[in-house]
Structures are given as structure tokens and as C-alpha cells.
Amino acid sequence: MKSFEELGLSVDTLKTIKAKGFEEPSPIQEKTIPVILSGTEDVVGQAQTGTGKTAAFGLPLVELLEEKSKHVQALVLTPTRELAIQVAEEIHSLRGKKHLTTIPIYGGQAIQLQLRSLQKGIDIVVGTPGRILDHLKRKSLNLSSITHLVLDEADEMLNMGFLEDVQKIMNHTSKEKRTMLFSATMPSAIMQIAKKYMNDYVILKITKDKPTSNLTEQIYFEVNEQNKFEALCRIIDIEEDFFGLIFCRTKIDVGRVANRLTERGYQSDALHGDISQSLREKILNRFKKRKINVLVATDVAARGIDVQDISHVINYALPQDPEAYIHRIGRTGRAGKTGHAITFVTPAEYRKLQFIQQKAKTDIRREKLPKVKDIIEMKKQRIHSRLEDIIEKGPKQEYLQLAKDLLNKNESENLLGALLQHSFRGELDEKSYTEIVNTPLDNSGKTRLFVGFGKSSGLTRKKLIDVVKEHCNISTDKIHDIQVRDKFAFISLPFNEAEQILEYFQKNRNQSGLYITKAKKDQGQGNQKSSGRQDRPKRQGRSRGQENSRKRHRPQR
């Protein structure tokens, strides 16, 4: 593994990286940065989400672009507005003292605000294809002089139907520019873009991380949202030497959890996007030196953290995707040492947990939260052990003399009890813990599935059972409440089997010929005629519900 100093970056950029807390480059950064800095080739990079791709192209852009330019020098295309904002903020934070301006442009934001920013002169534009095209049509954005074009999450842009828009945008750019394409997967359509629109290019492929470490114990606890903090305190208290990272979804949650931990007497701090670089560096140094043993952070703020001997990673909130889960828990269970990855799951999140577990190809074991009486008993054992250690080493002389004076005036049992109460205060008080009422997850009930074909398509009860058995290897006794109607059908199965069926038929719809999805609450209620109008399949097996879903998820322009 190379260091950032070996990648060809300037001294100023290295200072910025250090201030942000990045200690070593990720594999995609190690491969990509030198190629972009020293070469003239276009780049096709394949790496999973959450592996540091933004810095892989952002750092070279900062190095190569000119200051005080009067035109747009670089364009970064992203599939979603959220990613556009995230990438723009990340590049802005990497520029250090260099005078480069970066703005995100996306649908949903007032276009007048974007027009004013573009009129002032922008060096790096990060945007979604639809809104970029809008500005090109208005002639408010000129890409004819850009030197660098980045297609970020290219496979997602293709999945969202942006291929034609991307091609139109590329036609507005200079042929002399360098193009960098990054994608988690490399379908043939992406390679066709590379061959058609890119000059001599090099392919940099990063193999997937091992799904999870064998040395990391992975468990989850069922908790309601309002009980998460109490559950967190119990986990910290039951461990003798807790040294962990707590992941929250937003910076507001990070601040709230960290403040509550401090109020309870824990040595904790917070990392999120609003914290200055200098303060971030101080907090990380305190954490590494174990002056604090609990660090609460967002995913973005935790990027680049490389701290040894982390005992626990706690997902206070579920991560956005399986890659983020793998990235989080990979910070423990290193260098031959065991680690613990703990996830809090609310009843409504069980489906997402199952998805993460399946895609990460790992087993996340269900456990029960430690009881208060067990925590108190554990604390008593620790106190006993610590006192025996001091006795074995021999107390300091000044304390021995004080002990003799106190024993002359007090009974030994009362005296020792008073000293313990003074030293440990409320640690052994069960009232310091709030009761947690466990709410079981909805993982044992049945799920009703909607099938987009019925009797008019030749579907029968037996054919439906045979298809499910053949493709998903599910036994007949798991299949319940089959209803085959004229235009559609219903089938009920246990939750896990239903998820198995949904995943298979969503991936292999063309081969199987069936459209199966989770039934809505009102589907099949009332008379068949009204239900048929609502749920009747469209051409090629597409239901109106699916069409509406496509509309809801149509990318912002």
C-alpha cells in the first residue's frame, strides 16, 4: 500500500488531506491518482460505492485545474441530486487554499440561483444530466472548453435511463478533453460509451472487498427508535474496554447522540460535515490516544479514518446500502484481533436488514440486549478485580496512612462501603437505567404477493405453484392462500420465502415470463371487476402499479 506522498500530489494538497484525517489512500485512489496526474489517457475505473472514488478524481482535478479561469474547466455528471451535492461538497473540501469554485446543479433547485452562480464564473460543475441539458439549451452553460469530464456512478445513470442525455451532453464537449468514467459494474453499454466517446483509455479495476471479516462478530438488536440511546449505553457499559465508532445517519443525530453520551458521563465526541478541519484533526488525535473511547460519526465524516484496535462498530442507524455496511464494519476485527459489529434495527427496518445481509453475503445474528441486573453484576466484578490488582501491587503510602486513621474511628465494613459509594457513586444503581420494552420484528408473518397474470393468460393454481417451486426451490407447504383471477393472481408465503421469490423474479422477469411484486393493501379487496381495472397488467407484463412506480422514480431533470 502506497502513501499519499507517493502518488504525486503537491505539498498543499497533502496538507489538506492530512487535515481531513485521511491517513492512507484507498485502492481506487492509489491506482487512479497517479494515472490522472502523470498521464494523458482517459480513465475507466471500476470500484464499489463507498471506496473513495470522489477523492480519486477530485484530488487530481484540484491539482490540474487552473486558478481564476473565466470558463468551466471540469464537469462531473452524477445520477442523483443527492450525489451531486455530496460530490460538490467533497471536491470543495479538497481544494485547500487553491482558488477553485465548485457548484452542484440539479433539478428541484431554483434555476435562477444556478444562473447567477454560472454567470459569476465556475471552475467545476457537478450536476444531474437533465438539469445540465436544460442549461445547455438555455445557453447558460458552455462546455466547449472543459478539459475534464467525469461520469460518476455510470451504471446507475444507465439504469435510470440517462444514456441518451449523457450522449447529448458529451456532444457539447471538446474532443481534446480527458474523460474519466467510474462505475461499480461494467455492463456492455458502459464499455460502448468508452469505445465511442473516449480516446486512448486505461481500465483500472478494483476487486471487491471481502464481504466481511471472519474476525468480526456481527449481531443485531431489536429496538424501538426511542430506546436506541438506552440500548447504546447498555452495550458500552457491559464491555470492560469499549473503544468504538457509532454511526448515525445525519449530522443532527450525531450531535444529539454525542451530547447525550457526554451528559451521561461517557468520554465521547462527534464527527460530522460541519466540523472544521482543525477541530476534526484534534478529535481524531484524542480518539487515537484513547482520551475519548466513543466517537459518533456520519459515514461521510468517517471516511479515511484508520484507527487501530477499534473493538466495536455500532450502527445506531442502518446504513444506506450493503457496501456502506461492509465499509463501516471493516474498521473492526483487524490485524488478527476480534471485533464486534452491532446493528440496531427497528420493527419497520427488518426488510432492509435482510437485504443488507443477503447482498453482503454475511450472517448477522439476532441477540437480546443485556439486562440491567447483568450489567450491575458485571460492574461489581470489575470493581472487585480492580481493587485486588491495587492490593497485589501495594497501595501508596499516603493512602495506607489515611486508611489507618479512618479505621481507628470506623467499622471496617462501613468504611469500605462508604469509600466504594464515594468512588463509584451511581454506577451500581439500577435506577440509572431506563426500562426497555422489546418490540419483536415482523419477521415471522406472511407476505402477500401480486402476480401480473391470471386465467386469461393460461395461469392456473398448479402452474403458479410449479413455477415457484422450480425457480425458487420452495416447498409446497410454505405456499398459502392462492387466488387466481382473470387478469392477475395472489399468493401468500412466509416473509423470508416471499423475499426470495421477489428477488428472483425481479432479476429474471424476462426469462420467467412472470411479473411478481408485493401486493398493496387494497389489491384484491372488493369485487374482481374493480380490482382488475386497478391491477390489470400492461403490455409485456408491466402492471399499472409498476408504471406508476417508474413515474415516481423518474430522475430529476
**Predicted confidence (pLDDT) per residue in 343-352, tens digit:** 999 887 887 8
The domain at 216-372 falls in which architecture?
Answer: 3-Layer(aba) Sandwich (3.40)
Query: Which pLDDT does position 533 carry in this prediction?
Result: 35
The reported pLDDT for the residue numbered 209 is: 52
Q: Residue 46 to residues 20, 246, 470, 551: CA-CA distances in angstroms?
A: 25, 29, 35, 30
Mean pLDDT computed over 144-169: 89
Q: Are 198 and 42 in contact (CB under 8 A)?
A: yes
Query: Facing residues of 489 across strands?
Result: 451, 484
On the question of pLDDT at 120 being above 60, the answer is yes
The structure's pTM equals 0.49
* Separation between Cα atoms, residue 500 and residue 504, nearest integer Å: 6
Establish whether domains 216-372 and 446-551 are of one fold. Answer: no
Question: According to the model, what pLDDT value does residue 440 have?
Answer: 53
Q: What is the pLDDT of residue 245?
A: 96
Q: What is the pLDDT of residue 193?
A: 86
For cell 469530464, the residue is 149
CA distances from 520 to 523, 525, 531, 546, 548 (A): 5, 10, 11, 12, 13
Higher pLDDT, 197 or 49: 197
Percent of the chain scored above 90 by pLDDT?
34
Mean pLDDT of 142-154: 94
Give the model confidence (pLDDT) of 160-176 as tens digits.
788 899 999 999 998 88
Residue 553 has pLDDT above 90, yes or no: no
Of the ranges 101-110, 272-281, 543-552, which is most confident? 101-110
Question: From CA 149, how far away is CA 66, in angstroms rounded?
Answer: 15
Q: What is the pLDDT of residue 49?
A: 62
In angstroms, the Cα distances linking 335 to 1, 206, 308, 339, 453 are: 15, 22, 9, 10, 54
What is the C-alpha R_g of the chain?
29
- Mean pLDDT across the stretch 85-112? 90
Report the topology of domain 446-551: Alpha-Beta Plaits (3.30.70)
pLDDT for 139: 95
Residues 10-21 as b or e (16 or more Cβ within 10 Å = b): eeebbebbeebb
∠263-269-275 over CA atoms, to 5°?
125
List the Cα angle 65/173/149 in 5-degree steps: 45
Q: Which amino acid is at 503?
A: E
pLDDT at 554: 42
Query: Is the predicted pLDDT of residue 410 greater than 80, yes or no?
Result: yes
Place of cell 477541530: 279
Least confident range from 59-68, 202-211, 228-237, 308-317: namely 202-211
Average confidence (pLDDT) over 280-293 = 90
pLDDT of residue 508: 67
Rounded distance between C-alpha atoms, residue 186 and residue 450, angstroms: 32
Where is pLDDT greater, at 190 or 127?
A: 127
Tell whether the torsion through CA atoms of 106, 109, 114 and 115 is positive or negative.
positive
pLDDT score, position 509:
58
Report percent pLDDT > 70 for the chain: 86
**Backbone phi, psi, residue 205, to 5°:** -115, 130
pLDDT at site 518: 73
pLDDT at 262 over 70: yes
Of 3.40.50.11540, 3.40.50.2300, 3.40.50.10310, 3.40.50.300, which CATH number belongs to 4-205? Answer: 3.40.50.300
**Which of 205, 185, 179 is closest to 43 using CA atoms?**
179
Q: How far apart are CA 12 and CA 306, in angstroms?
A: 22
Higher pLDDT, 225 or 494: 225
Give the Cα-Cα-Cα angle 374, 376, 381 (nearest 5 degrees): 95
CB of 266 closer than 8 Å to CB of 235? no
Q: What is the pLDDT of residue 388?
A: 87
C-alpha cell at 543: 402492471
pLDDT over 90 at 63, yes or no:
yes
Tell me if 84 sits within 8 A of 242, measured CB to CB.
no
Mean pLDDT, the chain, rounded, equals 83
Q: Does the pLDDT value for residue 385 go beyond 80?
A: yes
pLDDT in tens, 462-508: 888 888 887 787 877 788 788 888 888 888 887 777 877 887 777 66
pLDDT value of residue 72: 95
Please state the domain extents for the chain.
4-205, 216-372, 384-432, 446-551
Instruction: Of 145-154, 397-406, 496-505, give the lowest mean pLDDT range.
Output: 496-505
Burial of 92 (C-beta count, 10 Å sphere; 0-12/13-18/19+): middle
Are 149 and 177 a contacting pair, CB within 8 Å?
Answer: yes
